[in-house]
Amino acid sequence: MNNGPQPVPQQNWLTKKRGIRDVWFWVFVGLLLVFGLEVWLLFRFMFVATMVTSSSMEPTLQKGDAVIVRRVRFTPANPPKRGELVFFRDPITKEDWLIKRVIGLPREKLIIWAGQVYINGQLLQETYVNGIVEEYGMWHIPEDAVFVMGDNRPHSNDSRDFGPVPLDLIEGRVVFRYFPLGRLGRIGQ
């Protein structure tokens, strides 16, 4: 028996449990940073998160709902579709942001007669309207604008008050509600 000193095996830092954990920790941190940057870029350039601050879109959107808006650049060649919910800068104050439904498209003639909406002489079927207002009016929508109205007609400040909305004031379309969780989901036409 040899009681002399035994050679100590050389250990590579990658073979140590602590070393491996350290490497995976930094890989995880790096991936987390990359993921965070991607999410930030998406929300900076492609999406907007906002809160509904009025009751003008009830029952579709309630006051306090949190929604995501997909940024879209609308043009006369690519206007929003009728029935879409759009997020836009208030044409009067240029500071407030509003969410309304697109009712009239560019180059259309819109008539409101006894609370009913007519587009180019045809009655528009609106299943989403909450309350009818006995009012009358006629608008010729310019080539670079749309006519918007809230679903809660008696309590909505919309194109009936400030006229058609220029397309360059529209930031995008409302696509998703993420709060309250009980009403979480996609927002369609």
Please tell me which residue in 54, 63, 81, 100 is annotated as part of the active site: 100
- 16 belongs to the catalytic site: no
Residues 23, 14: contact at Cβ < 8 Å?
yes
> What stretch of H or E contains 36?
helix 17-45
Amino acid, single-letter form, for residue 86 = V
Give the position of tokens 């036409």: 189
CB neighbours of residue 61 within 10 Å: 24
Please tell me which residue in 55, 56, 156, 159 is annotated as part of the active site: 56
- 56 belongs to the catalytic site: yes
Residues 101, 151: contact at Cβ < 8 Å?
yes
- What is the spatial distance between Cα 52 and Cα 71, in angstroms, rounded to a whole number? 17
Question: Known catalytic residues?
Answer: 56, 100
